[in-house]
Amino acid sequence: MIKKSLLLNYIILLCSKLCVLITESKTWHFFAVCNNKFNKSANNSFFVRICSKADNLDIAYKNRLGKISGCLSRFFNKIFSALARSVHGSLIIVKANDICKCFFNIPLIFPGITLIIWGGVSCILSHFTLSENAALYLSILLVVIGVILVFLRKSANCLLHESFFVAKFLALLSLKLPNDSTPSKYHSYKDAVHIGIILSLVTCVFGILPVAISVVLFAIIAFGFCFTSFVAWVYICVLPFMPTMVMVLGGLALLLCIVIKSVFGYKSKMFNDTYTLNMFFLFMGIAFAIAAVFSYARTSSVKIALVYIAFLCATYALIRLLSTKKMLLTVINGISVFSIPVSLFGIFQHFTGFDEQNTWIDTEMFDEISGRVVSFFGNPNVFGEYLILVILTSLICFFIMNNKYVKLLHLLAVGFSGVALIFTYSRGCWIGVLFAIVIFLFMSKRKVFAAFCVLGMCSVFFLPDSIITRFTSVGNLADSSTSYRVYIWEGTLKMLKDFWVTGIGLGSDAFNAIYPLYAYSAITAPHPHNLYLVILTETGMVGAVAFLTIIVFYYKRLFSVVKNSNDNTLKIIASGLVAAMSGFLLQGMFDNVWYNYRVFLLFWIYIAIGAVVDVVSRRFDSGEN
């Protein structure tokens, strides 16, 4: 025990002496002087003054378009009022609304009795009508679940609050269970029996499977209606694991929840506070629609446009729902924590020999690289683009969280994501994440910035040869992937001379219908491998202007938060979002970062988070929060 304590003291003493040597070194002093001079010149520069100046665009656009928006608002209010009058008096809606209000506070014995009666009757029906085995098994499952719920007796709210593991997990994510004590109106066992009999009678007519699906859908809708913000959080966090169509349906479901809540009187100030951004979203959606209609491969372009517009609608819904600082912190914590299994799976792929054929690499030039990992994204560059955003998010969480265990968790997220990023061997993503970290530390943690620069210089002596060779090959035309991109860019620029105004349509089919006529060296490609060329090629000037306007607006509002906000946490978040987007857009110079639908959605989610940071900061400074 004494030896262990002596060893620990020796390690602490050694680390402290090492820190003193570094801070007293000439290299450290050089970086500190350069940092101070750069800070002074940057703070007084014209660019920083313009970007950090607060604007009143939302108020100005609302006033100028006030008549149009006012007419539309009155029109939709009349529709919602008529719907509200028609549904509020309905017995089914009244009962459903009562269930929703006390969704988690209904004692589990009541749904348990309902399931036992419904499953028992369905078992008898299955026996006498000789139904398929699936119906019988489902009926038995309902009875078993009902029996379990009867023995639990307590409400779901009580069970969740009493669970130690649930409490610890939610604490890591800065989440808290709602303390809703709305009493349940279902105090009598007669209610459970009546619902069970009704479900049984309906099952006699339609069969158990359609009725069971309807009940599950109702439960999902009721849960989403009551806890829409939580559903929005889940929607963002599970993005890496879900297929595209699930995310499309989830985004439309979020928008539907907003509409339903509006019918029942839900109000959100976020619409007026993000009026300008809403207009930009509308213009971007119009650009996608026009590109699809006038595409040279209309069928595939229309499908892509529908997905893009659905994700824009999801982004609009997320902005309406993530309206508080608490929810903002919960979302960025969730993105960071859920990146850990994604990164671990990528690291696992590296050590299990994934992609031994080196599908995405020049094997003649980089024969020492065994393979490139993709995790859940199917492509190493796409996985790297995801990691650029989440590494900066984890860094944000590390600096703003106070709990040391939570800090450690986010530091692990940074470490795992960094290792996974190395194993993607994506040079553009490496450059993008380094660029992003430098921007973030310079904007928010300038003392750490100098240390990062010194450590970066020292790390060169410890990196494996495969990484150094891969990194130094940037711009080397002997690398087939580099020369491949250069030829594609040249052919695309030649093509844009004829199509820069209108574009050719969304997707690879439209690109391959026109690009071969302009290609150099007969090179074929699914896209121009450059985000800005992709937008200009597919949507023409309309889409390019809309995109650039959104990006400028994003940067301007977040720079204003960094410069003017009185909340240090929001300033760090804004700095991290600026850095993350900068690294992502830098990678966009080397690849089409919108090629994967989920990464496309993640890009717009970060636009939404940036808008929420701006609104929350303005409310805090004005004393509303």
pLDDT in tens, 443-477: 877 666 666 666 665 665 555 555 555 555 555 55
pLDDT at 78 over 80: no
pLDDT at 496 over 60: yes
pLDDT of residue 580: 94
Question: pLDDT tens-digit profile of 379-398?
Answer: 888 999 999 999 999 999 99
Average pLDDT, integer, range 239-257: 88
Interatomic CA distance for residues 347 and 434, integer angstroms: 20
Phi, psi of 227 (to 5 degrees): -130, 55
User: Band of the pLDDT at 4, cuts 50, 70, 90?
Assistant: very low
Select the highest-mean-pLDDT range: 442-451, 481-490, 525-534: 525-534
Q: How many CB atoms lie within 10 A of CB 297?
A: 20
Interatomic CA distance for residues 510 and 35, integer angstroms: 48
pLDDT, greater one: 17 or 501:
501
pLDDT at 247 over 70: yes
pLDDT at 144 over 60: yes
Distances from the Cα of 571 to the Cαs of 56, 62, 404, in angstroms?
Answer: 20, 27, 21
pLDDT of residue 366: 47
Rounded to two decimals, what is the model's pTM? Answer: 0.78
Lowest average pLDDT, out of 15-19, 216-220, 380-384, 554-558, goes to: 15-19
Question: pLDDT tens-digit profile of 182-203?
Answer: 555 545 677 778 778 888 888 8
Q: Which two tokens stand for residue 459?
A: 């790390």
Longest distance between any two alpha carbons in the chain, whole Å? 90
Q: Which two tokens stand for residue 110?
A: 């009541």
Interatomic CA distance for residues 136 and 147, integer angstroms: 17
- Residue ranges of alpha helices (H) inside 179-321 are 189-206, 208-226, 228-237, 244-263, 270-273, 275-293, 298-321
pLDDT of residue 420: 92
- Say what percent of the chain tops pLDDT 70: 63
Interatomic CA distance for residues 246 and 250, integer angstroms: 6
Question: pLDDT tens-digit profile of 266-298?
Answer: 555 555 566 677 788 888 999 999 999 988 888
Interatomic CA distance for residues 78 and 82, integer angstroms: 6
pLDDT of residue 586: 92
pLDDT at 181 over 80: no
Residues counted in the chain: 625
